[in-house]
């Protein structure tokens, strides 16, 4: 997203940032601005005609995610098992991330 907006960054007037998807949708429905959200988070409001969406490109945007946890706390067996399942099934473009998580999950 930042790469897309960098060329026009000086022209943007960002007055606030919200962490809640529901709150963002409410602000947009109240005509208090526009936002970038995943279509999957807005399908109900779009179907009801409360929000409109514009496709940004023909290819889907990809969001890199990380599984995070508190480093200073011991993880339960269930949490370690969950992390191992994620590592086993991850299709990561970042082998270092998978390797780092694997080392931490095992140890």
Domain hosting 74: range is 65-107
Q: Please give the tally of structural domains in the chain.
A: 2
Residue 55 maps to a domain: no
For residues 44 and 92, give the distance between their C-alpha atoms in angstroms, rounded to a whole number: 31
Average pLDDT over residues 34-43: 89
Is the pLDDT at 23 greater than 50, yes or no?
A: yes
Quick one: pLDDT band at residue 50, thresholds 50, 70, 90? very high
pTM for the whole structure: 0.54
Which pLDDT band, with edges at 50, 70 and 90, does 98 fall under? Answer: very low
**Stronger pLDDT, 79 or 58, i.e. the higher one:** 79
Rg over alpha carbons for the chain, rounded to the nearest Å, is 19
**Residue 25 covered by a domain:** yes
Q: How far apart are CA 13 and CA 52, in angstroms?
A: 21
Question: Residues 69, 43: one domain?
Answer: no
pLDDT value for 51: 95
């Amino acid at each position: 997203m930042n790469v897309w907006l960098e060329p026009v960054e000086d022209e943007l007037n960002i007055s606030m940032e919200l962490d809640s998807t529901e709150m963002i949708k409410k602000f947009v429905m109240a005509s208090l601005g526009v936002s970038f959200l995943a279509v999957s988070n807005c399908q109900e409001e779009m179907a009801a005609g409360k929000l409109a969406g514009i496709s940004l490109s023909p290819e889907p945007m990809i969001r890199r995610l990380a599984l995070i946890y508190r480093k200073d706390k011991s993880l339960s067996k269930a949490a370690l098992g969950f992390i191992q399942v994620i590592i086993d099934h991850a299709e990561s473009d970042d082998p270092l991330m998978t390797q780092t998580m694997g080392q931490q999950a095992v140890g």
